[in-house]
Amino acid sequence: MDPSLLLAAQMDEHAEVLAATRRAVAGPFARLADLCGRSLAGGGKILFFGNGGSAADAQHLAAELVVRYRVNRRALAAIALTTDTSILTAAANDLSFDDIFARQIEALARPGDVVIGISTSGRSPNVLKGLAAAQSIGAVAAGLAGRDGGLMAGQCDPLIVVPSEVTARIQEMHILIGHSLCDHLEKLAAS
């Protein structure tokens, strides 16, 4: 296939998913933004986690909040649970790979914190266990998913579901949604 045609097809698919996502996620996004804003205002924090590309998104979004998104302002409390290789490998080795996020949430999350699991399928066992740990602590268990939300649909409130079956398009929407969340929280912090 001609590379320019491939790129055009990818962009067309992206635009279709963007339009469908815009229609699908406004309500859950507003709820997530409100809960995160309240948590930070009350001295809480936001914890992000996921696997693979979603792990990269977790790190990216935590950095935007701690350092800055668009403007210089006070640091916002956010943690990516995907960055500490000693914790990740010890938990995977000594417990189970399915426990790598739940163990960290047990140690770090408090009631009122917002825990955001990211999974394009909504079926990652370690993300689901992390969300369950958040619920048991009294933290908000929120999520970003794709497809039909998978098993996260029963565990997250709010759950933002990107209506696509294509992992790359779901990830593109997750980072757009995440950036929008960072923009909102930064504006709250600056006001």
What confidence tens digit (pLDDT) does each residue in 63-79 have? 999 999 999 999 999 99
Give yes or no for residue 1 having a pLDDT over 90.
no
How much is the pTM?
0.97
Q: What is the largest CA-CA distance in the chain?
A: 54
Strands, E, within 32-110: which ranges?
A: 46-50, 78-80
Confidence of residue 101 (pLDDT cuts 50, 70, 90): very high
Distance CA 187, CA 129 (A): 32
Pair 70, 183: CB distance under 8 Å: yes
Confidence of residue 21 (pLDDT cuts 50, 70, 90): very high
Distance CA 80, CA 66 (A): 11
Mean pLDDT of the chain: 97
Give yes or no for residue 48 having a pLDDT over 90.
yes
Closest CA to 109 of 84, 66, 139, 136: 139
Distance CA 97, CA 120 (A): 18
Tally of structural domains, the chain: 1
CA angle 134–146–170, rounded 5-degree value = 115
Closest CA to 76 of 99, 48, 117: 48
Map residue 47 onto helix, strand or coil. strand
Predicted pLDDT of residue 190: 87
Distance CA 154, CA 76 (A): 29
Give yes or no for residue 91 having a pLDDT over 80.
yes
**Cα 41 versus chain centre, distance:** 20
Pair 141, 105: CB distance under 8 Å: no
Strands, E, within 7-139: which ranges?
A: 46-50, 78-80, 114-119
pLDDT in tens, 103-160: 999 999 999 999 999 999 999 999 999 999 999 999 999 999 999 999 999 899 999 9
Give yes or no for residue 186 having a pLDDT over 90.
yes
Predicted pLDDT of residue 191: 84
Mean pLDDT confidence for 53-57: 98
Q: What is the CATH number of the domain that holds 90?
A: 3.40.50.10490
The token pair that represents 39 in the structure block: 């948590």
Distance CA 120, CA 124 (A): 9
What range defines the domain where residue 71 resides?
3-190
Pair 64, 48: CB distance under 8 Å: no
